[in-house]
Structure 1
Amino acid sequence: MTQQQQAMSEQDVSEWVKQQLQKCTKFLAEKGIIVASVKMEDSRYLVPWVTAWKVQSTDGKYYWAVAGDLPTDVLPLSAAKDARAALRHLALGWQMKSENIRHASADDKTQQEFADLLDNKSQLLYQMTEQDQVWAKSQ
């Protein structure tokens, strides 16, 4: 357990996890994906950084939905076998997206700042997926 996790009470952790699930559910709804259920046994969270939820939509499709101290995002279940692979997939995708934003919006300061944020979060997320000790207890 990290120092930041130790500073959070069980109630704080529970509330943070609940907020991230709500954030994902809202994000998915805005994309036209209505969550019917969450597969908790396959979902993972690393408090207070990231949550990866395996969700089933009302039309029966499965997705990985990600939230936390990073951009909320979604990908189809077929893109990754587990939460760790889903986070790695998103990290690599965000790196490419940040480069595309930089090239397409060279004169837009706001877009450049977003590209920097996306690149930073993608690197942190990728590093997290590479740490076996982080995943040893959860998978």
Structure 2
Amino acid sequence: MEEPDQEVEENQWCLSERQRVIDYLLEEGLVHGRVGEWPGWHVHPYVAIWAIESVARPNWVGWWVISGDLPIDYVPCGVDRTPRGALRDIGTLWRTAAAEWSLGREVGDCTVGSDLRHRPALIPLLAARAEILLGWADDPSIWPDL
């Protein structure tokens, strides 16, 4: 069981990350519905996956946003409509982006790395984070209910 101070800290972190997600979506100009009140999945204080409501299909997840101690990014909700699927989709996207950028090629559907000045430093970070995310997505012990 978590200590009360740890629980308060985790709650504050999640609230802060939620606001960060809301601000990011506004900055990106993504038209969306509600942002989940709580992450669909998280590992405090490293990563959180947030469900974002679809405008076209109210009460359905249209997007997933990842935030935490990594680049904030979003992907459309895929066939696997779970936080685990979102983690896998983002990890795959980041792995592909890092590989393509290291070869000087563009990746059209990646919102991270649009500022070319930061790409050289971003490539190894994105590649490393992608492997961590994919490892978590493939670890059945993390997802006992799925």
1:4-15 residue pairs with structure 2 within 5 A? 9-15=6-12
Q: Please report the TM-score for the alignment, with normalisation by the length of structure 2.
A: 0.76
**Could you tell me how far 1:38 is from its partner in structure 2?**
3.1
1:89-104 residue pairs with structure 2 within 5 A? 89-104=89-104
Q: How far apart, CA to CA, are the structure 1 residues paired with 2:134 and 2:78?
A: 19
Q: Deviations over 1:35-73 (max 9, x none)?
A: 532345882222122111111155657211111121111
Name 2:121's counterpart in structure 1: 113
Structure richer in helix, relative to its length: 1
- Residue type matched to 1:16 in 2? W
Q: Secondary structure at the match of 1:86?
A: helix
**Could you tell me how far 1:122 is from its partner in structure 2?**
0.5
Matched, 1:133 2:130: no
Change (3 A) 1:39 1:24: closer
Name 2:70's counterpart in structure 1: 70
Please tell me whether the aligned partners of residues 136 and 142 of structure 2 are also in contact (alpha carbons under 8 angstroms).
yes
Q: RMSD of aligned C-alpha atoms?
A: 2.9
- Residue type matched to 1:17 in 2? C
- Residue type matched to 1:51 in 2? A
Q: How far apart, CA to CA, are the structure 2 residues paired with 1:101 and 1:74?
A: 19
Please tell me whether the aligned partners of residues 79 and 86 of structure 1 are also in contact (alpha carbons under 8 angstroms).
no
Q: How far apart, CA to CA, are the structure 1 residues paired with 2:117 and 2:39?
A: 39
Change (3 A) 1:42 1:27: closer
Q: How far apart, CA to CA, are the structure 1 residues paired with 2:21 and 2:41?
A: 13
Q: Secondary structure at the match of 1:37?
A: coil
The answer for unaligned runs of 5 or more in structure 2 is 106-115
